[in-house]
Amino acid sequence: MVLLQVDNPLFHVAKHADTIKARKDYKIVVGFDGSEAAAAGRGSAGVGGGGVNPPHHTASHHSGRSPAPAPAPVPSKPSVMAKLVVSCAKSAGGATNAQWVFYLKGVTPDGK
């Protein structure tokens, strides 16, 4: 059993806990509500404009392989940062919990 947590309320995960099978690809669906927060005026500093929600982003972990590089960000739009932490109970012979950290970047609309 793994636990999935984000540290910024503008991001959310579809599942907060799940079971991951060995040697299988696993996709984590992460939603970003940055454009809604900007439209309501409750986002962090630098978040501006309203508009349509950007599509959900997916963080994935492939057993034994490096993840594909993230696409280059568009520099003209404000962004919101967060961390997605995936953790599981300690395994046999391990002293601590296993943990993976994925850094998230949500890009808000320009508002133009």
Handedness of CA 24, 25, 27, 28 (dihedral sign): positive
What pTM did the predictor assign?
0.59
Mean pLDDT by 10 residues, the chain (112 residues): 94 93 92 70 36 45 59 69 91 80 89 48
> Given this model, what pLDDT does residue 9 score?
95
